[in-house]
Amino acid sequence: MEPLSNRKKVLEQKPMNFWERLYLPAIFQGMGITFKHMFKKKETIFYPEVEREFSENWRGMHSLKRDEQGRERCTACGLCALSCPAEAITMIAAERQKGEEALYREEKYAAVYEINMLRCIFCGLCEEACPKEAIYLDGPIVPADYLRKDFIYGKDKLVEEPLKV
Amino acid sequence: MELAFIIEKFIVVTVIFLISLTIAAYSTLAERKIAGYLQDRVGPNRAGPGGMFQPLADGLKMFFKEEIIPADSSKALFILGPSLALLTSLIGSAVIPWGQSIEIADRLVSLQIADVNVGILYIFGVVSLGVYGIMIGGWASNNKFSLMGAIRAASQSISYEIPMGLSIIALLMTTNTLSMKEIAEQQHGINWNIFYQPLGFLIFLVCSFAETNRTPFDLPECETELVGGYHTEYSGFKMGAFMFAEYLNMFLASAVMSTLYFGGYNYPGMDWVNGMAGPLFGPLIGMGVLLLKIFAFIFFFMWVRWTVPRFRYDQLMNLGWKVLIPLAIANIVITGIVITIYDKL
């Protein structure tokens, strides 16, 4: 068969000579290398106290955004749930009542909005599908928990903090 | 036997027992720390300042874990295995001379539990008994991997005891005594045996790696092939006993090597220091020096473990039978010739 590239290299396997058969020179060489590593800078990041910087396109926990006046942007159109390949998002829509104009931006809003963090694959398609720029995956790593039911995050965990006046 | 003698021995035994247990416990921490530092990590650092209480936490964990005894195992032997391993590794330190005699209230207290006049043979006997714990444990588990580990431990131990014994013979030709105490006394100052028996020391060192089942010769517990080797079926405190026995063996091997080849409690300028420190603190400083040597050896053991990969089984046997035994015999012959020529002059 013709070679696919010119990078093929035939390795020669010579029988070991006396010094190599003794193992000791090679062992001492290796020990020198490991000893040098004792004084090198340690790579450890002390995680809970120190967090490594995320990259700019990092996708973490979701957050439901508010607009400039502190109103929820989400209109419960369901496009995020539709686009979600893992079917992790469910929502129940509700109509905005009189007097709630400061809470929700448009006439329709999500009364219940749940993401199952065990199903979510953090692909970011919900973020892309959203016409209202309401959902972003800009949070931290989703923390561990003990029970499956505790991984279903509702609006209490997802919606951004209200604006401070 | 007078009462004071019994009390004195009891105190010495207790102190040495506690020291060896503490060192073995902290060896586990040291191993993980050294492993970390050699691999650009920091090792355990959460339990106490700098991970100081990690051995305590590990011990507690071992105690509170469920102990499983396999249904098909021989129960008595299954319990006997780790007990024997722990016992044999603890009694070995009885003949190590930890220092010169100290003087307390006009009594000369020997810092050695028992001055057996065949001390070296005693240590050999105890060390080779240690493999019985592993063999019995591996056999009683009724598991093919454990059995394989036990077989490997037995064959490895037999193969490496021969060059070890032969390297000791060459040492005995120069020291003319089997008593550990006399060997230590002969190496006064810097008159250490390593300068007379460098090749013998090298052989002894390699063999002690094999006898303590440490990497590169840790085939009995070879995880990649045998799951966990002889302690596959062990859990909880019995597993801890096996681990502890391994670290105690390492401590014992380090102590034996320091005493036989690196002068034990002797160090250059010890007469001057003894004159300054007096008959109580002088020997204690010597004991500290011996402990320092032991720590250096333990560090060496760990350093090698985290550098060298495990030997293949055939490589292990080749090295033992075809390299170390001929070398050890050659060492005896050379030592004999040199001694004869030296005596004639």
Q: What distance in Å separates the CA atoms of residue B230 and residue B211, rounded to the nearest whole number?
A: 15
Domain membership flag for residue B46: no
Number of H helices, E strands in chain B: 12, 2
Of B39, B41, B307, the CB nearest to A30: B307
Residues of chain A with C-beta less than 8 angstroms from the C-beta of B43: none
Question: Which residues, 6 or more positions from B125, have their beta carbon under 8 angstroms from its beta carbon?
Answer: none
A27-60 pLDDT, tens digit per residue, is 888 889 888 888 888 888 888 888 888 888 889 8
Q: What distance in Å separates the CA atoms of residue B32 and residue B25, rounded to the nearest whole number?
A: 12
Q: How far is CA B185 from CA B97, B121, B230, B266, in A?
A: 9, 18, 40, 8
Domain membership flag for residue B23: no
Report the percentage of chain A scoring pLDDT > 90. 25
Of B38, B319, B323, the CB nearest to A38: B38
Annotate B291-312 with b (16+ C-beta within 10 A) or e (fewer): bebbbebbeebbbbbbbbebbe
Domain membership flag for residue A118: yes
Question: How many structural domains comprise chain A?
Answer: 1
Residue to mutate among B215, B304, B307, B312, with most A CBs inside 10 A, is B307
Of A22, A31, A44, the CB nearest to B303: A31
**Is it the case that residue A94 has pLDDT exceeding 70?**
yes
Three-class SS of residue A114?
Answer: strand
Q: The tokens of A118 are what?
A: 């065990």
Cβ of residue B38 closer than 8 Å to a chain A Cβ: yes
Domain membership flag for residue A39: no
Domain membership flag for residue A31: no
Beta bridge partners of A152: A116
Residues of chain B with C-beta less than 8 angstroms from the C-beta of A36: none
Cβ of residue B316 closer than 8 Å to a chain A Cβ: no
Q: The tokens of B128 are what?
A: 């080779």
Domain membership flag for residue B17: no
Q: What distance in Å separates the CA atoms of residue B66 and residue B236, rounded to the nearest whole number?
A: 6
Q: Which of residues 49-78 of B touch A (CB under 8 A)?
A: none
How buried is residue B11: exposed, middle or buried, by Cβ count under 10 Å (0-12/13-18/19+)?
exposed
Nearest CA in chain A to B309: A27
Domain membership flag for residue B164: yes
Cβ of residue A31 closer than 8 Å to a chain B Cβ: yes
Q: What is the pTM of this model?
A: 0.80
Q: What distance in Å separates the CA atoms of residue B62 and residue B231, rounded to the nearest whole number?
A: 14
Domain membership flag for residue A16: no
Q: What distance in Å separates the CA atoms of residue A91 and residue A89, rounded to the nearest whole number?
A: 7
Mean pLDDT of chain A: 87
Asked if A37's CB is within 8 angstroms of B39's CB, the reply is: yes
**Is it the case that residue A85 has pLDDT exceeding 90?**
yes
Q: What distance in Å separates the CA atoms of residue B83 and residue B244, rounded to the nearest whole number?
A: 11
Cβ of residue B332 closer than 8 Å to a chain A Cβ: no
Residues of chain B with C-beta less than 8 angstroms from the C-beta of A30: 307-308
Asked if A38's CB is within 8 angstroms of B307's CB, the reply is: no
What residues make up the domain containing A86? 63-158
pLDDT at B1: 60
Cβ of residue B296 closer than 8 Å to a chain A Cβ: no
Domain membership flag for residue A116: yes
Q: What distance in Å separates the CA atoms of residue B207 and residue B323, rounded to the nearest whole number?
A: 12
pLDDT at A114: 92
Q: Which CATH number fits the domain that encloses residue A110?
A: 3.30.70.3270
- On whether the CB atoms of residues B133 and B81 are closer than 8 A, the answer is yes
Question: Which residues, 6 or more positions from B52, have their beta carbon under 8 angstroms from its beta carbon?
Answer: B29
- On whether the CB atoms of residues A101 and A139 are closer than 8 A, the answer is no
Beta bridge partners of B107: B104
B158-196 pLDDT, tens digit per residue, is 888 889 889 888 888 888 888 888 888 888 878 888 888
Beta bridge partners of B108: B103
Of A27, A33, A38, the CB nearest to B37: A38
Asked if B306's CB is within 8 angstroms of A42's CB, the reply is: no
- Cβ neighbours of B76 (radius 10 Å): 10
- Residue B216: cis peptide before it, omega within 30 degrees of 0: yes
Instruction: Give the DSSP letter string of A28-61.
Output: HHHHHHHHHHHTSPP----TTTS-PPPPTT---S
Question: Which residues, 6 or more positions from B258, have their beta carbon under 8 angstroms from its beta carbon?
Answer: B264, B290, B293, B294, B297
Residue to mutate among A19, A21, A23, with most B CBs inside 10 A, is A23
What residues make up the domain containing B278? 68-344
- On whether the CB atoms of residues A54 and A60 are closer than 8 A, the answer is yes
Considering Cα of B191, then A29, then B255, then B205, what sign does the dihedral take? negative
Question: Which residues, 6 or more positions from B341, have their beta carbon under 8 angstroms from its beta carbon?
Answer: none
Domain membership flag for residue A123: yes
Domain membership flag for residue B11: no
pLDDT at A118: 92
Instruction: Return phi, psi of residue A136, to 5°.
Output: -135, 145
Closest Cα of chain A to B306: distance in Å?
8
A101-124 pLDDT, tens digit per residue, is 888 888 898 999 999 999 999 998
Question: How many structural domains comprise chain B?
Answer: 1
Cβ of residue A29 closer than 8 Å to a chain B Cβ: no
pLDDT tens sequence for chain B (345 residues): 688 788 888 888 888 888 888 888 898 898 888 888 888 888 888 888 878 888 888 888 888 888 888 888 788 888 888 888 888 888 888 888 887 777 776 777 777 777 778 888 888 888 888 888 888 888 888 888 888 888 888 888 888 888 988 988 888 888 888 888 888 888 887 888 888 888 888 889 988 888 888 878 887 777 777 877 788 888 888 888 888 888 888 898 898 888 888 888 888 877 787 777 777 777 888 888 888 999 999 999 999 888 888 888 888 888 888 888 888 899 999 988 988 888 887
Domain membership flag for residue A53: no
Closest Cα of chain B to A45: distance in Å?
9
Question: Which residues, 6 or more positions from B114, have their beta carbon under 8 angstroms from its beta carbon?
Answer: B94, B95
Beta bridge partners of A63: A136
Strand intervals (E) in chain B? 102-104, 107-109
Q: What distance in Å separates the CA atoms of residue A101 and residue B261, rounded to the nearest whole number?
A: 88
Q: The tokens of B139 are what?
A: 């056999």
Cβ of residue B35 closer than 8 Å to a chain A Cβ: no
Pairing verdict, β B102-104 and A135-136:
unpaired
Asked if B41's CB is within 8 angstroms of A44's CB, the reply is: yes
Pairing verdict, β A89-95 and A152-153:
unpaired
Domain membership flag for residue A81: yes
Of A34, A41, A44, the CB nearest to B303: A34
**Is it the case that residue A1 has pLDDT exceeding 70?**
no
**Is it the case that residue A10 has pLDDT exceeding 90?**
no
- On whether the CB atoms of residues B111 and B100 are closer than 8 A, the answer is yes
